[in-house]
Structure 1
Amino acid sequence: MLRPQWKLQASLCHGACVEVDSDTEAVASRGFKLGCISCKMRGEVRAIASVDWYFKASDETVSSHIYRYEYNSEEIVDTRFYDRLEWAGSKQTKDLQDGSIYIRNVTFNDTGVYNCTIKRTLMYPNYEFETHNSKIVTVKVVPRLTRGIASILSEVMMYVSIIGLQLWLVVEMIYCYRKIAAAGEEALRESASRKNSRRLP
């Protein structure tokens, strides 16, 4: 079964929340956004949330805690990411639904598996309910951005369609020109025939 790439959940109180998959291909020496969106099922329920990010490099077997965010308070835990990580998620709210972060100056050592965990506490009138939601992002760092096969095929098909339409337009123009020319010649012949018939006694 194919996993849906996105799902839409609307809330009257908090607007629409859309869960989308993060990009997975980062370019060395550039910035890269690690996406992590977890929509709250009950928009009318007050909630507070915190976000933790973990990272396992391609040559490692255990994930390391690298980052934590909780309402205007962030902490870079792993020294490999000091001065390179910044919050790119929900702003000015304790009810976090977007737990994305941004990596500056990506290096090849950043290739690996990232795990985003959003811990959310729903505040009901008489009790609290805690939920956990995790997102896995496998990132590959490349020297330059590569184009996917689907993108290349789409562009090729676009050019084929443009060329095909242009050829069709040329054929139609030639057909119309010949039809108009033939109609003009026929009209001239009929006119000449009428003049000749009038001259006859």
Structure 2
Amino acid sequence: MSAVQLLLVPLALWALQASLCHGACVEVDSDTDAVVNQGFKLGCISCKMRGEVPAEATVEWSFMPKGESEFTKIYSYEDLMSDIPDERFYERLDWNGSKKTKDLQDGSIYILNVTWNDTGTYRCIFNRTLTFTSYEFHTNATKIVNLNVVPRLTRGIASILSEVMMYVTIIGLQVWLVVEMIYCYRKISAQGEEALRESAAEYLAIASESKENCAMVAVTE
């Protein structure tokens, strides 16, 4: 495989992956550390497995403060309308999910001005209705977010190690690519030199044969 082909293969795979993932839903876990007095996104994504089937969904959020044992409804989103029944979160919650559609897949909300009392467990429930030709199918999905309020964000060991490994992988791939290119270049050069040697040997053989023929003609004369 030539160096050009080695470069094109990763690009082709990346393009294929991008085309397959374009517009796709990906369920990503929510962050769990919120900084006090700042905003924070509570992530909740529930992908619809049958993308071709029309559907509608509603989202309901509940909150259980740290040290308590029961959830309390704090937010709901249905028919493009939101409701905040808990006065602790009144005017502090904002919809941050799917826009301008009832077929919700992202049910995230945004907390404004996080307080220490926001520490606890948040529960997000998706209630989805899939509409088939002759019947409706109801499903639900539950996501849990354990929120910890901190004075400031600090990078964890896992995050640092992940970043280091990412850079090590990138550097390793670049070194491997350079080595492969050098190998291909040397192989092509060696093949070129071998071809030149064969051409030179063939030329010498032809010249020698021509010289002998000339000598024989001279002797005959």
Q: 1:121 to 1:108 in 2, by over 3 A?
A: same
Give the CA deviation at 1:109: 0.4
Q: Is the contact made by 1:71 and 1:92 (CA closer than 8 Å) also made in structure 2?
A: no
State the superposition RMSD in angstroms: 2.4
SS of residue matched to 1:125: coil
| Paired letter, 1:31 | G
Mapped to 2, the partners of 1:134 and 1:154 lie a distance apart of: 28
Who is 2:38 aligned against?
30
Mapped to 1, the partners of 2:78 and 2:55 lie a distance apart of: 12
Q: 1:156 to 1:96 in 2, by over 3 A?
A: closer
The structure with the largest helix share of the pair is 2
- Whether 1:96 aligns to 2:128 is no
Mapped to 2, the partners of 1:37 and 1:11 lie a distance apart of: 19
1:1-201 pair list within 5 angstroms: 15-153=23-161
Mapped to 2, the partners of 1:38 and 1:136 lie a distance apart of: 12
Mapped to 2, the partners of 1:11 and 1:42 lie a distance apart of: 16
Give the CA deviation at 1:11: 8.9
Give the CA deviation at 1:153: 4.1
Give the CA deviation at 1:156: 7.2
Mapped to 2, the partners of 1:97 and 1:52 lie a distance apart of: 13
| Paired letter, 1:87 | W
Structure 2 unaligned blocks of 5 or more = 1-18, 172-221
Give the CA deviation at 1:150: 2.2
TM-score for both structures, normalised by structure 2: 0.63
TM-score for both structures, normalised by structure 1: 0.69
Residue range with higher mean Cα deviation, 143-152 or 89-98: 143-152
Mapped to 1, the partners of 2:160 and 2:62 lie a distance apart of: 34
Q: 1:123 to 1:154 in 2, by over 3 A?
A: closer
The structure with the largest strand share of the pair is 1
| Paired letter, 1:111 | T
Mapped to 1, the partners of 2:151 and 2:128 lie a distance apart of: 37
Q: Is the contact made by 1:11 and 1:44 (CA closer than 8 Å) also made in structure 2?
A: no
Mapped to 2, the partners of 1:87 and 1:51 lie a distance apart of: 10
Mapped to 1, the partners of 2:164 and 2:47 lie a distance apart of: 37
Percent identity reads: 65
SS of residue matched to 1:147: coil
Q: 1:57 to 1:44 in 2, by over 3 A?
A: same
